[in-house]
Amino acid sequence: MEDLTQEEWVSQLENDANAVILDVRTDAEVADGIIKNAIHIDIYKGQGFIDEIEALDKTKNYYVYCRSGNRSGQACSVMNQLGFENAYNLLGGILEWEGDLVDKD
């Protein structure tokens, strides 16, 4: 896992053809908006979270965020334990996000 500032996260994401954005917030938090093209998997789903994460492609690079950066850091650690090599945590989370948000599909 690597913690990235918003600038590093966005810069790396924009230049990564193998990138997947992962939002690990709750449904209520996601209702306020989500980063465009993000996949939403609530970390509070417990085993359901693990099951959904394990179904993801481990060859991709995951850019993970939550509200403040704490849960996304935990999610990155879980992903590393499950064999994901590239999980990047957004420091400060959505609270410090300066980019646009869209409604969840």
Residue 2 · residue 16 · CB < 8 Å: no
Q: Cβ distance 88 to 6 under 8 Å?
A: no
The residues assigned a catalytic role are 66
H helices, E strands: number in the chain: 4, 5
Closest C-alpha among 69, 2, 66, 76 to residue 35: 66
Q: What is the DSSP letter of 99?
A: S
